[in-house]
Structure 1
Amino acid sequence: MLRQALCVTVPLTLALLLGACGDGAPTEQPIRPAMVVQPQRAGELVDSYPGEVRARFEPQLAFRIGGKVSQRLVDVGDQVKKDQPLAELDPRDVRLQLEATRAQVAAAQANLQLAKAERDRYKKLLERNLVSRSQYDNAENTYRAGEARLNQIRAEFSVADNQAGYAVLRAPQDGVIAERQIEVGQVVGAGQTVFTLAADGEREVLINLPEQAFERFKVGQAVEVSLWSQPDQRFAGRIREMSPAADAQSRTFAARVSFTEGKVPAELGQSARVFIAHEGNVPLAVPLSALSAEQGKPYVWVVDPQTSTLKRTSVRVGPYGEKMVPVLEGLTADDWVVAAGAQVLREGQQVRPVDRDNRLINFAAKE
């Protein structure tokens, strides 16, 4: 009897307990506090890019003929003057070619004199009807061919004479040797760059612009330049030129910034920083901690002032700052944004909005 009672009582008790658990009302989740802020004006949004002071004109110097370098007369950093010798090639080959061409000129002159004497003799014989007209014409043609050959050889001699002078590389203008790419004994080809000359005169700043923001910049755009030697002073400038193609390795676009003020104390190779302000309206900004992202798309949590519930709002942002990030699209100045803990929130969640001092915010009083 006891065993039968237990078999009936235990299942009934379990059923009652389970029924009691199933019939109970669900427990409500506590309303969490959430620190909220309103977007603030970002102020003037400015990007900065590091750069290097360069000469506006930087011709790459090369020999006009090929050969073996016999002398290197300057090095990087040397100040040079116009027509100053910079390097020399072994002149033996060009001198031999010059002498060979000179000998060809002498031979052509001798042949021309012989052809002229033959033509004059045939002319006298023709006047006495001792030779035919065709024989005289042959002598005349031989003379003219000799004259043309002499002119050709003289032109070749001028070329050889010029090439003998090309064995010495000279500075095309005053400046500083910015780069050297040869050593004594090296064999170089015609047109191969051996020096880069930083010409005296205007100075510019070379910077690299990022690929994703390249469309925001244009030639003639106003900028400010800060030099490493004078970090507290900014000089006015403008973008003078922009490369139409990205660098194959860095994927950035080279740009040159010229100074628009008077004389600027900028030295070659000096470090600089270029500040470029964004054009258009001043955007809003929110704290970095308010921003989250999913699949590369940024969003923030906006609090509904009527129900204190959360709504996920997609935004388009600008370059990140140290503490704030500009929001270009998606928010208004009247929105309330959760400033922290965005990763643990969910759509439609009800929160208790508080400020940074943990004081409850009354949205009705704020309107």
Structure 2
Amino acid sequence: MFRPALSLVLPLSLITVLAACGNGEPVAPSIRPAMVVQPQPAAEMMDTYPGEVRARLEPELAFRIGGKVTKRLVEVGQQVKKDQRLAELDPQDVRLQLEATRAQVAAAEANLHLVRAERDRYKKLLDRQLVSRSQYDNAENLYRSGAARLKQIKAEFDVANNQAGYAVLRASQDGVIARRMVEVGQVVAAGQSVFTLAADGEREVSISLPEQAFERFKVGQAVTVELWSQPDQRFPGRIREMSPAADPQSRTFAARVAFTQGEVPAELGQSARVFIAHNGEAPLAVPLSALTAEQGRPYVWVVDPQTSTLKRTPVRIGAYGEKLVPVLEGLQAGDWVVAAGVQVLREGQQVRPVDRDNRAVKLAAKE
């Protein structure tokens, strides 16, 4: 008798619980996180060359006279200012030469004073017809010769004075000492490189191009640069210059790549990789996990940066790589693509974009 009653009580109690849960208010759908990435140039369709960040201007600093180095005032890696003293030569010889020239200037001035007085005296005598014209002309010629001699000696004095100043090597502009080639006590010749200065300003990447593919490259060609310190970010650049002759040892052609973006956090000596497309512009690539298909038609989920909702975007793809797949059509470089769990997503679904470390991502298209 109690069993039928108990069987009626249990459904009624379950209905009561369900009714209490469903109070008629709609339940807000939960916003699930979605790992997003932006398409990158397909490395499989590009040549990669290792390089080093260098200054665009790297003048070789040298003394303009020869001599023995007595002081070295800077070290490699030290920041220097324009006209800062870098090294000094033994100044004894140039100072002696300066003093000798100064004495010659004094002698020439005394001689000029003498011949001037002699000329003036002969002029007065000529006016009174006490000397011949030839005697006066001779005095005039001696005066002109003395004036020319003084001018010559003064020029030699200026040269000797400059030579004395050349015993001090100064920085030609602001920059960093990138290389040092002398030590104190070493005797250097005029023009022998003493320091290499990496001038402040633009930074470039120095690379070497193989001779078997040299004809595929040209000045002005667009490239992308990746710094080892920032492996997840690439910077646009172009080939600024190419050496017309191969290095005799490595048989490669030196080239310089300039950044075309305004501010690039590249420091001197950093390692970098330069990516150059085989034929024109390289296609974009997305992770394999971002790609799915329906009825043989591949597509990806693109996140709307304004509403964080999903949109199914058909794409045309190339040959699969080890980790990436090239996207030939359908995506832009500034799109944000869901990179994982794409099989359980639906059109118009709102998501919370995160990166691979589960940190929130502020969606914004690339400039």
Same-fold call, TM cutoff 0.5: yes
Match of 2:161 in 1: 161
Q: Which amino acid aligns with 1:228?
A: W
Which residue matches 1:196? 196
- Aligned pair 1:270/2:270, yes or no? yes
Letter in 2 for 1:148: A
In the other structure, the counterpart of 2:333 is none
User: 1: distance between equivalents of 2:210 and 2:116?
Assistant: 74
Q: 3-state DSSP class of the match of 1:142?
A: helix
Q: Secondary structure at the match of 2:279?
A: coil
The 2-side partners of 1:141 and 1:178 are apart by: 58
Q: Specify the alignment match of 1:25 in structure 2.
A: none
For the pair shown, the structure with the greater C-alpha radius of gyration is 1
Q: In structure 2, how many angstroms separate the alpha carbons of the residues matched to 1:237 and 1:174?
A: 25
Distance 1:101 1:43 in 2: 68
Q: Summarize the alignment of residues 350-365 of structure 1 with structure 2, pairs less than 5 Å apart.
A: none
Structure 1's 208 and 119: CA in aligned 2 closer, same or farther, altered over 3 A?
A: same
Distance 1:180 1:280, change over 3 A: closer
| Alpha-carbon distance, 1:45 to partner | 2.1
2:160 alignment partner AA = A
C-alpha separation in 2, matches of 1:149 and 1:43: 73
DSSP 3-state at the match of 2:161 = helix
Q: Distance in 1 between matches of 2:96 and 2:166?
A: 14
Match of 1:358 in 2: none
Residue number in structure 2 paired with 1:223: 223
- In structure 2, relative to structure 1, the CA distance for the partners of 1:281 and 1:140 (3 Å cut) is closer
Structure 2 distance, partners of 1:115, 1:107, is 12
Structure 2 SS opposite 1:253: strand
The answer on whether the counterparts of 1:44 and 1:277 sit within 8 Å (CA) in structure 2 is no
How many residues align structurally? 245
Tell me what 2:247 maps to: 247
- Which residue is equivalent to 1:89? 89
What residue in structure 1 maps to residue 13 of structure 2?
none
Contact 1:83 1:172 in 2 (8 A): yes
> Which stretches in structure 1 are left out of the alignment for 5+ residues?
1-41, 283-320, 323-367
Aligned-partner Cα distance in 1 for 2:77–2:211: 33
Q: Tell me whether 1:62 sits opposite 2:66 in the alignment.
A: no
CA distances 1:119-142 after superposition (whole Å, capped 9, x unpaired): 111111111111100000000000
C-alpha displacement of 1:234: 0.9
Question: What's the TM-score, normalizing by structure 1?
Answer: 0.65
CA–CA separation in structure 1 for the residues paired with 2:281 and 2:154: 71
**AA paired with 2:61?**
L
* One-letter identity of the residue aligned with 1:141: N
Q: Match for 2:254: what amino acid? A: A
CA RMSD of aligned residues (A): 2.0
Q: Give the AA of the match of 1:50.
A: P
The CA deviation string for residues 251-299 of structure 1, in whole angstroms up to 9 with x for no partner, is 10000001111211111000000000011599xxxxxxxxxxxxxxxxx
| Aligned equivalent of 1:331 | none
Q: Secondary structure at the match of 1:265?
A: coil
Cα separation, partners in 2 of 1:226 and 1:280, compared to 1, 3 Å? closer
Distance 1:237 1:43 in 2: 16
What secondary structure, in the 3-state scheme, does the structure 1 residue paired with 2:82 have? coil
Residue type at the aligned position of 1:138 = N
Residues 9-158 of structure 1 aligned to structure 2 (within 5 Å): 45-158=45-158
Structure 1 residues 107 and 280 mapped into 2: Cα distance closer, same or farther (>3 Å)? Answer: closer
1:340 paired residue number: none
Q: CA distance change for structure 1 residues 268 and 98 in 2, over 3 Å: closer, same or farther?
A: same
Normalising to structure 2: TM-score of the pair?
0.65
Contact 1:239–1:258 (8 Å) recurs in 2:
yes
Please report how far the alpha carbon of residue 43 of structure 1 lies from its aligned counterpart in structure 2 after TM superposition: 9.2
Distance 2:194 2:276 in 1: 36
Unmatched 5+ residue regions in structure 2? 1-41, 283-320, 323-367
Q: 1:206-236: per-residue Cα shift (whole Å, max 9, x none)?
A: 0000001000000010001010101121111
Instruction: Give the counterpart letter for 2:92 in structure 1.
Output: R
- Structure-2 separation of matches of 1:122 and 1:211: 80
